[in-house]
Amino acid sequence: MIKPHGADALIPLLVTDTAEHERLVAEATTLPSMLLSSAASANAVMLGGGYFTPLSGYMNVADALSVTQKMHTVDGLFWPVPVLNMTDDVSEIEGASRIALRDPNVDGEPVIAIMDVDAIEELSSQQKDTITEQVYGTLDSSHPGVAAFRAQGSHCVSGPIQVLNLSYFETEFSGTFQSAVEIRADIAARGWEKVVAFQTRNPMHLAHEELCRIAMERLEADGIVIHMLLGKLKAGDIPASVRDACIRKMVDLYFPANTVLVSGYGFDMLYAGPREAVLHAIFRQNMGATHLIVGRDHAGVGDFYGPFDAQDVFDQIPKGALDIEIFGADHTAWSRKLNKVVMMREAPDHEMSDYLTLSGTRLREMLGDGNVPPPELIRPEVAQILMDHYQTGTG
């Protein structure tokens, strides 16, 4: 199986030894505590599950700036996005060498991790602008990732952590959420060697389904992991429970047995386009995938990135920085001429009128009105789940 990034084996920071876990839970009651941002809590989940191997915790300012400007840490580890724990108030933890980190996304704000504090540093406005512009490609506060990053404060609390739980993902998405450790074990149990990963934060329409099928066939892959983001999204995005139901229905009905693993991960979407695409590649390598599908405007939002920026960035990273390979894909759509889904760049004789398409707005209107979209766009069984969601809000 493919090796994890920067290590011979996964380094999950979740404490699984029962006695040690109990000891740390008791210790947490005696420590100064810090309420995390949602983003920092999601980072703890990714560190706990091994997705962020080989990191041992949150980055300091020097590493954050090095990653921002050079895509590697001060020590030379290739990494595309700072992994930070930021806050606007450090009064409760000043001078502390060890602190409890509390989860803002669970009722009662329980402790999610314990941290050895290496440093508490304040990012200057110029440093914060540098990180924002380099990672997100813009300073525009209408960008949801920029807005979320700006809201986290300017104090950077760094150091290694021991993770006590994986937040609400373990309970709310018990049948879908998996750590990188669990996915590796699942892949091994299925006997897969060549494994494709498909990132999604949306329900999968027919074009997405066919893209997965195209990638598997061309790569001669043993299986595909449809890996959905379960964390925080921007307003208006489809809830994770609805996406999960749609994807499982599609897989159950339209894919052969033992070719698809439906799974999810606990991370808040950054909408960082090219930089986030590289991060996606790292944690897909860590979970055991040998290939990642990177499509048109991967991890993008609005018009902030070019349609293929997230593919082009992989030509700019150092050779050998990653072992996982990229399957670059164009927009896929139903061809009226060929009577099937095609990648647009592979149909040079087509005009836009040769494709059957609907805007996202029009599709949502149809679903909300109880009108089933054409089967060339979305499987009817998937459409029914989405209609239930849009009409009743219950999914």
Residues labelled as active-site residues = 201-202
d(CA 78, CA 5): 9
Q: HEC states along 302-328?
A: CCCCCCCHHHHHHHCCCCCCCCCEEEE
CA distance 70 to 68: 6
Location of structure tokens 């739980």? 165
Kindly list the distances between the CA atom of residue 293 and the CA atoms of 20, 34, 194, 218, 331, in Å, as whole numbers in the listed order.
39, 37, 13, 12, 12
Measure the CA–CA gap between 228 and 205, rounded to whole angstroms: 14
CA 271 to chain centre: 10
Give the C-alpha separation, 97 to 30, whole Å: 13
Among 9, 128, 134, which residue's Cα sits nearest to residue 69?
134
Instruction: Give the span between the Cα atoms of 122 and 386, in whole angstroms.
Output: 45
Rounded to whole angstroms, the Cα distance separating 255 from 327 reads 20
Question: Which of 325, 321, 231 lies closest to 270, judged by CA?
Answer: 231
E strands, 36-107, are: 57-58, 86-87, 98-102
Give CA–CA dist 296/261, Å, rounded.
23
Contact 115, 90 (CB under 8 A): no
Longest CA–CA span in the chain (Å) reads: 69
* Residues 121, 101: Cα–Cα separation, whole Å: 17
CA distance 213 to 223: 10
